[in-house]
Chains A and B, each alone.
Chain A
Amino acid sequence: MKTKLSVAACACAMAVALTSSVHAKTPGSKLLATGGASTIEGAGGGGIVPWATLSSYADTGEWGATVNLSEVSVDDFRLSVKGISASWNNRIEVSYARQTFDLSTIGGELEQNIVGAKVRVVGDLVYGDLPQISVGAQHKINQSFALPSAVGALDDSDTDWYVSAAKAWLDGPFHRTWVANVTARNTRANQLGLLGFGGDDEADSRWVAEASVAMFINRYWAVGAEYRQKPDNLTFAEEQDWRDIFVAYFPSKRVSLVGAYTDLGSIAGLDNQSGWYLSVQAAF
């Protein structure tokens, strides 16, 4: 409850700060919502899948930044994420996220830091025939390796590599704008890395697939779904794929909100972990 309140307070403070700086420089020239939201690993994207889009609204020759807070609350766990990102020229994005994973039922807490970078290689989300294609890396450093080590994890840090392709259809089905993203990720992270990297069952990294689709109801509201395949490296508990359905609100280029219903499957032997996801992002 305390965390919930502090997130709400922080979101309000952000909103106030944003309103008072409305007359400052606009956040950038990219079209509304094309900076996407912030993922739980800090990169720009949906909620759980990094997209080929770059965070913030920094277009040709522009700089941009975001600050974001996310909370995932499922039956027996709670994940809090604080993140920041900077991007330049609609070309490169760097991000940092700090994850705190509260083992509400089991007791205890796991922490992880993630430093990310993403580069747009070719194409454009909105214009031209090619999709926007980006490559990225997420270097993850687990800060609480005692528990992961005890359940069979091999390393306390590692790097995920991914390639993403995203495309928007301005006039898609129902004459609505649609966005789709697919991501292939090379990873050996157990539960994002919160349970370390590699395991007694499978030591090496593998490719997993992730995908998102969203439909914009109008300029400001979108609904969509995401799917994320996961590795399964530890014998002590099965790790399952993640999915969510979300509603995103982009009232302005300054701020975005995402709410989702999420199904994280089985985590650390506790089955059917489902619940809500809430994320707020401010862009500068």
Chain B
Amino acid sequence: MKTLLFSLLLLTAPLAAGESVYQQLGEKEGISAIVEEMLYRVGGDERIVHHFDGVDIVHVHEQITLQVCDVVGGPCEYKGETMQVSHEGMGVTHADFNALVEHLIAAMEKHEVPVAAQNQLLAALAPMYEDIVQE
């Protein structure tokens, strides 16, 4: 059994070794550019842009960048509001949440983030669904 586990480790090692997700996202600079691209796309999306009415977008950009950097194990600490507090009463739907995810994916595709790193980031962010969506 131990040998089996060891060979499994060896098999998966090449995937895990090399660059971290944080590095594959392009570190702080890359993450900042991805989040900028995402927000730019949100700005043109009539389904969800109203959720950002009267919002300080520079601040939002800063906070999301910090948060992404934090969840993928980068050298950042997100100290902002919890997702539950910051989305309270906004009435974010399943469709709205998906729209944002779609823009994040499009931004990562544009920045040529490898699929494995994309999936790890998405999996790290997905649990926020339950704090953000009120349906």
Contacts and interface: CB of A to CB of B under 8 A. Distances in A.
A170 B123 contact: yes
B95 A171 contact: no
Interface stretch (B31-39, B62-70, B75-83, B97-105): B97-105
B47 A175 contact: no
Contacts of B98: 29-31, 59
Contact of B15 (A29, A61, A175): A175
Contacts of A126: 126
A62 interface: yes
B115 interface: yes
A190 B93 CA distance: 43
Query: Which range holds the interface residue count of chain A?
Result: 20 to 34
B94 A175 contact: no
Contacts of A177: 119
Contacts of A90: 94
A124 B102 CA distance: 17
Q: Is the interface of A mostly helix, strand, loop or mixed?
A: loop
A219 B109 contact: yes
Interface in B84-135: 93-99, 101-102, 105, 109, 115-117, 119-120, 122-123, 126, 129-130, 133, 135
A135 B95 CA distance: 22
Interface string A146-178: 000000000000000000000001111011110
Interface string A21-36: 0000000111110000
Nearest to A178: B119
Nearest to A218: B115
Contacts of A174: 12, 15, 116
Interface string A7-39: 000000000000000000000111110000000
Contacts of B102: 29, 31-32
Contact of A29 (B12, B95, B123, B126): B95
Contacts of A62: 95
Nearest to A217: B115
A235 interface: no
A108 B22 CA distance: 62
Given A60-B93, A170-B126, A175 B101 contact: no
A172 B135 CA distance: 27
A269 interface: no
A61 B123 CA distance: 26
B119 A124 contact: no
A127 interface: yes
A130 to B, nearest CB: 11
A124 B129 CA distance: 11
B130 A170 contact: no
Contacts of A124: 94
A107 interface: no
B93 A61 contact: yes
B93 A219 contact: no
Given A174-B15, A175-B15, A60 B95 contact: yes
Contact of A127 (B12, B105, B119, B126): B126
A64 B47 CA distance: 16
A170 B101 CA distance: 12
Interface of B: 12, 15, 47, 93-99, 101-102, 105, 109, 115-117, 119-120, 122-123, 126, 129-130, 133, 135
Given A60-B94, A90-B94, 16 more contacts: A29-B94, A29-B95, A32-B102, A59-B93, A59-B94, A60-B93, A61-B93, A126-B126, A170-B119, A170-B122, A171-B120, A171-B123, A174-B12, A174-B116, A175-B15, A175-B115
Interface of A: 28-32, 59-62, 90, 124, 126-128, 169-172, 174-177, 217-219
27 contacts: A28-B95, A29-B95, A30-B95, A30-B98, A31-B98, A31-B102, A32-B102, A32-B105, A59-B95, A59-B98, A60-B135, A61-B95, A62-B95, A124-B94, A127-B126, A170-B119, A171-B119, A171-B120, A171-B122, A171-B123, A174-B12, A174-B116, A175-B119, A175-B120, A218-B115, A219-B105, A219-B115
